[in-house]
């Protein structure tokens, strides 16, 4: 309960001296008369009026308390909160080429990328997200959706070897752009992750970046891989893993990735281990915040009338009781 004038409630403190004065006056007694003995008086049966003699004071005190509360203007509160969210459409474009099996990330690059992306998806409540994978070509693993459970399942299923090997960065970017083409979201974002150099595909990365810029899509690019040499799974002449590892130089086309990000208003990041990759996704998560507007309407309903009526009713009851039931005959 809310009070418009709560300072009037301090008047309730006067009830204490009121009770003290009443008790003192009762103990003082009324007019005295002299009788030879009180034995008959003590044996006399007590009437109902005797037991109800304090009721008028109780009614009067309760009426006073109710009128004070009414004076403080009690009010009921009705709150109406409306929340509107302006979500962001985000496409994740992830490289699944054979080089993503390199073990400079634990346990390997593609597993680390999937785990970090899964955490990122969980944090994007209210946004629509989709997933594109690419190697020598690209395809959509999941269109834009708010169903995080389904998206997480589809993310967990991606692996190296799903499609022809190679690194078609342009195709991976263009496929993600195509999924955002009909989006009506005010903010559209692509996060492209790769560990190599563009060597396949029909669409050049710069061409895809120009299309993204024209459609108002920001592209964040991430290059994954340690500096220098990295351990890769060894394969035989038929491409079958032998169980061993070979050291190979890490080659990432950072110039192209920086150009794509700069052209579209995004940023380029380099992740040399899983911890840095997680930090990069966290940074992007902070850069791309959903807009949430909260409108709150508060309505106050006056309730003093029922308190005042209750107080007046008790005063009237006290008047009737004192003058009809407990009235003394002169």
End-to-end CA distance of the chain: 48
List, in sequence order, the alpha helices (H) in 159-301: 169-180, 205-214, 254-264, 274-287
Same domain? 142 vs 240 = yes
Q: What residues form DSSP beta bridges with 84? A: 293
Same domain? 108 vs 64 = no
Same domain? 178 vs 273 = yes
Using DSSP's 3-state secondary structure scheme, residue 248 falls into: strand
| Cα separation, 232 vs 225, whole angstroms | 11
Residue 250 lies in a domain: yes
Q: What is the predicted pLDDT for the residue at 32?
A: 53
Number of domains within the chain: 2
Q: What is the predicted pLDDT for the residue at 41?
A: 46
Residue 33 lies in a domain: no
Residue 32 lies in a domain: no
Q: What is the predicted pLDDT for the residue at 25?
A: 85
Residue 18 lies in a domain: yes
Pull the structure tokens for residue 86.
């302006």
Same domain? 176 vs 55 = no
| Cα separation, 69 vs 311, whole angstroms | 9
Tokens 């459409």 correspond to what residue?
89
Same domain? 195 vs 314 = no
| Cα separation, 73 vs 39, whole angstroms | 54
pLDDT tens for the chain, residues 1 to 330: 788 888 999 999 999 999 998 888 888 765 555 555 555 545 555 566 666 778 888 888 999 999 999 999 988 888 776 756 667 899 999 999 999 999 999 999 999 999 999 999 999 987 899 999 999 999 999 999 989 999 999 999 999 888 888 999 999 999 999 999 888 888 899 999 999 899 999 999 999 999 999 999 999 999 999 988 999 888 777 667 787 888 888 999 999 999 999 999 999 999 999 999 999 999 998 888 766 565 777 788 888 899 999 989 998 888 888 777 666 545
Q: What is the predicted pLDDT for the residue at 172?
A: 96
Residue 114 lies in a domain: yes
Same domain? 154 vs 67 = no
Residue 330 lies in a domain: no
Which domain, by its residues, includes 55?
A: 2-26+45-79+297-325
Tokens 């595909």 correspond to what residue?
201
Same domain? 281 vs 301 = no
Q: What's 262's domain CATH number?
A: 3.40.50.410
Same domain? 166 vs 50 = no
Contacts of 107 (CB under 8 A, 6+ apart): none
Per-residue pLDDT reduced to its tens digit, 89-139: 999 999 999 999 999 999 999 999 999 999 999 999 878 999 999 999 999
Same domain? 51 vs 147 = no
Same domain? 302 vs 250 = no
Same domain? 303 vs 271 = no
Residue 35 lies in a domain: no
Q: What is the predicted pLDDT for the residue at 115?
A: 96
Pull the structure tokens for residue 3.
């009070």
Pull the structure tokens for residue 48.
């109902």
Residue 75 lies in a domain: yes
Same domain? 252 vs 137 = yes
């Amino acid at each position: 309960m809310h009070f418009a004038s709560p300072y009037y409630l301090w008047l309730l403190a006067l009830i204490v001296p009121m009770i003290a004065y009443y008790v003192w006056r009762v103990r003082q007694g009324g007019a005295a008369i002299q009788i030879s003995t009180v034995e008959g008086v003590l044996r006399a049966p007590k009437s109902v009026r005797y037991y109800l003699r304090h009721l008028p004071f109780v009614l009067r005190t309760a009426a006073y308390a109710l009128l004070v509360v009414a004076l403080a203007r009690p009010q009921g509160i009705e709150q109406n909160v409306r929340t509107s969210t302006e979500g962001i459409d985000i496409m994740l474009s992830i490289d699944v080429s054979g080089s993503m099996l390199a073990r400079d990330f634990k346990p390997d690059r593609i597993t680390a990328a999937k785990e970090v992306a899964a955490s990122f998806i969980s944090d994007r409540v209210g946004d629509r997200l989709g997933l594109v994978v690419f190697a020598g070509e690209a395809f959509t693993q999941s269109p834009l959706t708010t169903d995080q459970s389904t998206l997480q399942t589809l993310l967990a299923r991606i692996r190296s070897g799903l499609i022809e090997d190679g690194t078609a960065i342009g195709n991976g970017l263009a496929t993600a752009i195509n999924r955002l083409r009909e989006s009506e979201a005010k903010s559209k974002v692509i996060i492209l992750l790769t560990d190599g150099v563009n060597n396949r595909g029909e669409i050049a990365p710069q061409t895809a970046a120009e299309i993204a810029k024209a459609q108002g899509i920001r592209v964040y690019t991430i290059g994954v891989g340690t500096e220098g040499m990295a351990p890769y799974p060894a394969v035989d002449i038929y491409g079958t893993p032998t169980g061993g590892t070979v050291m190979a130089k890490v080659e990432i086309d950072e110039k192209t990735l920086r150009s794509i990000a700069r052209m579209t208003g995004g940023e380029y990041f380099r992740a040399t281990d899983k911890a840095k990759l997680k930090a990069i996704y966290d940074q992007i998560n902070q850069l791309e915040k959903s807009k949430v507007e909260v409108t709150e309407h508060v309505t106050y309903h006056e309730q003093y009338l029922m308190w005042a009526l209750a107080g007046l009713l008790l005063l009237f009851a006290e008047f009737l009781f004192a003058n009809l039931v407990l009235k003394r005959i002169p």
